[in-house]
A and B are shown apart, each in its own frame.
Chain A
């Protein structure tokens, strides 16, 4: 028997084992003795205290939500504030028949009938003593109405609460964002106990990305309640002695944005009834002065809460009001990239200030028959760089692109910040796209699609084809050109302020890599040409630049939504509105000392110089002190 093999001493092993079991049992009984002693302490000696806490007067720790920080514009005008309002709450444990109560509330039109199921689910999933918010903002009329009916609704009551309010909601919706009801998914990314008692959290824009600053720290009160859950004064019970002391909440920080409310309002008005976006940047700091996307929406609807159908109609609106075109809208930049492209071409020697080209209205690559059309069918005649930019001659750039090549196009546009995120301090921006050989290889699966074709370089030279940029990217790229190569990360938040100490934390400008040219005079040539766009006798946007008190530099662009077949004539009237070209415009001013760079995109606006440029002019007039509000 292997058990009795020579090296094993069965008898002594068993004795050893029994000794060890005895030892373990002793330790075990001692440990269990400690638990029993603890139980005796809790259940016999401290029983009175705990019984009081639990039976007669129960205590409950009630979270006190912090006050959310306010948001101001650069001149200290309030963009987001907290207003007192009454909300309707239901405490599940005090309601006898949940379904019946909700149905009757719906009959009084205090809640929407379609949301009954949603609230029923909410009331069931949380702790039964925790109030469920049914209506975030009651009107005076509704409060009066409900007050009469209140005895019929045990467990339902209205409670005062601060509700986020955006006084100029539509104008700032896409920059400031909005707060909305705290969802389970939000809580996965937030510190749960910090949000006890908080019903809202930032969902988009500054409200979301600066949530940590705005929120503040939760406080708590020890609330003593009677058997029905009603609060009773704390000092009437000795139970509180054993409780942690109260702690007041710490309010969130106030935030100062670089936005200028006047510009926001003006830009919103300029885009009234249109789809598009406007971004204005201070080229010497990256501060965003205006960021507007149209159509917009009322962010107060999210803060107050809306019915399922109201939300659905926002979501399903074909004009996509919730879509932030300023940072998420990726458009073919069209001719607006020509100034950047000219810098590239001058630097690598693909063109010179003196080179001239005969524009006959189209361009053909050697040994091919495909005609790359100019926007002006009869052609611009003989043009140099100045003329090519100021009159926006496509053929000139088609020709230059052959010498420049896609690799250089990619290299320089990349330096201007196109094709990658700008790093703006709100989330969700589109990266845009500057095509390259490498990108194409990775983007397509078919071998023939992976190759880069010369024709693609030609159309890339006028910002068409695969190329995409957001209004924010265009504004920041042109800001980099305005400063002759000094670039900053665009940002909305300029400072935060502690509401208790008043201490202000400034957010310093973040400088990006400079664009360094071999020949600094190339900046002058391009900027001069952009000035001619606004003020030259042939300038495409001379109407928008006329009679300005300062000098502007600009470049219009028209992004094709619809490819015109080779021999067809483009006729605006016959094309469905949604197929019309997007109108783009980039500009900065004053030319000698740039203080503002603006990008304007109007979807299906047809003409950059006629539709987008005047809007940019209005923004600049306003900011530089020549606007309609000037002197007020």
Chain B
């Protein structure tokens, strides 16, 4: 993979940064993407400091996780997309085996089996967030696009099997993201529009079927969404309190570490899934819009990288990683503002906790690898 370095072409699309720019290039790092990510993480740490009650130890914890995740990203950026593609099916197969192991032998935490103890505790479902779109992209790489019906069927199986395994843990949030990341690959590969509309129509009875499969607590979440006041002491409490937090923030917010909802502990899960409400309360509409702009910038940069990608695998994978990141942002912000059910999706790169951050950063590492290893192609 190293032989490509000399052939890399400075297309001039990235602003000339002199020595620093060349250094980034040599390290296979995409400057704009790194910049956007660091800004989000920086803002996240500032908010988190307030949300964890100004607890330096917890903040340091998060900082270490962030460091590990960024190092992971930079390491992955060094592997060429060709290398990643060759190993994709093996990674996917290993992921499936681990998922089955989790269901049969995994450790139970918070009422669900998600963890596997392989020396270090580890959630195979997290790895599937990358392995599923990689597998779908791998499968489509040599095929003529748009995919035909038989190919679509096989792709569906590739996505549905891990999704069901994860949903059975039960971990609805992750299952949803894994399914989305695979589905996005198919849509980007050219799933016929007519078929998409048909599927959308069919999803009504599908949703009914899913309802039957749901655990009671998952059903409760959906019901509480429709009427949060129906369970004000239980599931509805989070949404009621988070709406008060966001609404009371107004345009400019109450000021950093001044959020009374967050600090008087009215707001549950304020450092994890509901941290967006803390930003809304303390930094106001301007604060949350700034964060959303940063997210849009990162997603946009990712899609730009995807469009520049030289081959099918890289293109589909880069597109899927970027759009899945967007799905994260949308689902979390929509759930905290009470637009969709509380499914337990963290605010990417901001919520306290390490597992999802490592996966996200690994995804951005792949984006960087795709961008910096691309070959010059005739247009």
Rounded to whole angstroms, the CA-CA distance of A434 and B212 in the bound complex is: 46
Asked if B297 is at the interface of the complex by the 8 Å CB criterion, the answer is: no
Asked if A43 is at the interface of the complex by the 8 Å CB criterion, the answer is: yes
B233–A220 CB distance below 8 A: yes
Interface size class of B (residues with CB under 8 A): 35 or more
A8–B144 CB distance below 8 A: yes
User: With A36-B292, A47-B248, A193-B234 in contact, is A54–B307 under 8 Å at CB?
Assistant: no
Q: How many CB-defined contacts (below 8 Å) exist between A and B?
A: 148
A42–B337 CB distance below 8 A: yes
Give every chain B residue within 8 A of A40 (Cβ-Cβ).
Answer: 285
Give every chain A residue within 8 A of B250 (Cβ-Cβ).
Answer: 43-44, 47, 51
Q: Shortest CB–CB separation between residue B238 and chain A, in angstroms?
A: 12
Closest to B312 in A: A13
Give every chain A residue within 8 A of B10 (Cβ-Cβ).
Answer: none
B264–A42 CB distance below 8 A: no
Asked if A5 is at the interface of the complex by the 8 Å CB criterion, the answer is: yes
Chain B 238-267: CB-based contact to A (< 8 A → 1; otherwise 0) = 000001111111110010000011001110
Asked if A604 is at the interface of the complex by the 8 Å CB criterion, the answer is: no
Give every chain A residue within 8 A of B42 (Cβ-Cβ).
Answer: none
A53–B248 CB distance below 8 A: yes
B296–A5 CB distance below 8 A: no
Among the listed B229, B254, B264, B280, which residue makes an inter-chain contact with A39, where contact means beta carbons less than 8 Å apart? B280
Rounded to whole angstroms, the CA-CA distance of A66 and B228 in the bound complex is: 22
Interface size class of A (residues with CB under 8 A): 35 or more
Among the listed B143, B247, B289, B339, which residue makes an inter-chain contact with A49, where contact means beta carbons less than 8 Å apart? B247
Among the listed B143, B144, B247, which residue makes an inter-chain contact with A43, where contact means beta carbons less than 8 Å apart? B247
Give every chain B residue within 8 A of A93 (Cβ-Cβ).
Answer: 264-265
Chain A 11-50: CB-based contact to B (< 8 A → 1; otherwise 0) = 0011011101100110010011011101110111011011
- Of A55-63, A313-321, A350-358, A421-429, which binds chain B? A55-63
Among the listed A20, A28, A50, which residue makes an inter-chain contact with B299, where contact means beta carbons less than 8 Å apart? A28
A3–B310 CB distance below 8 A: yes
Interface majority SS (helix, strand, loop, mixed), chain B: helix
Chain B 285-312: CB-based contact to A (< 8 A → 1; otherwise 0) = 1001100100010010001001100111
B264–A32 CB distance below 8 A: no
User: With A5-B142, A17-B188, A43-B285 in contact, is A61–B330 under 8 Å at CB?
Assistant: no
Q: Which 3 A-B pairs have the closest CB atoms?
A: A50-B247, A54-B248, A193-B234
Pull 15 A–B residue pairs with CB atoms less than 8 Å apart, ordered by A.
Answer: A8-B144, A13-B145, A20-B190, A24-B184, A24-B319, A31-B334, A32-B330, A43-B246, A43-B250, A43-B280, A49-B247, A50-B243, A63-B233, A93-B264, A129-B264
Chain B: residues with CB nearer than 8 A to chain A? 142-146, 184, 187-190, 229, 231-234, 237, 243-251, 254, 260-261, 264-266, 280-281, 284-285, 288-289, 292, 296, 299, 303, 306-307, 310-312, 315-316, 319, 323, 326, 329-330, 333-334, 337-339
Chain A: residues with CB nearer than 8 A to chain B? 2-3, 5, 7-9, 13-14, 16-18, 20-21, 24-25, 28, 31-32, 34-36, 38-40, 42-44, 46-47, 49-51, 53-55, 58, 60-61, 63, 93, 127-129, 192-193, 196, 218, 220, 243-244
Given contacts A20-B190, A54-B281, could you give 13 more A-B pairs where the C-beta distance is less than 8 Å? A3-B311, A7-B143, A7-B144, A9-B144, A17-B190, A24-B187, A24-B323, A28-B330, A43-B251, A54-B261, A93-B264, A127-B265, A129-B264
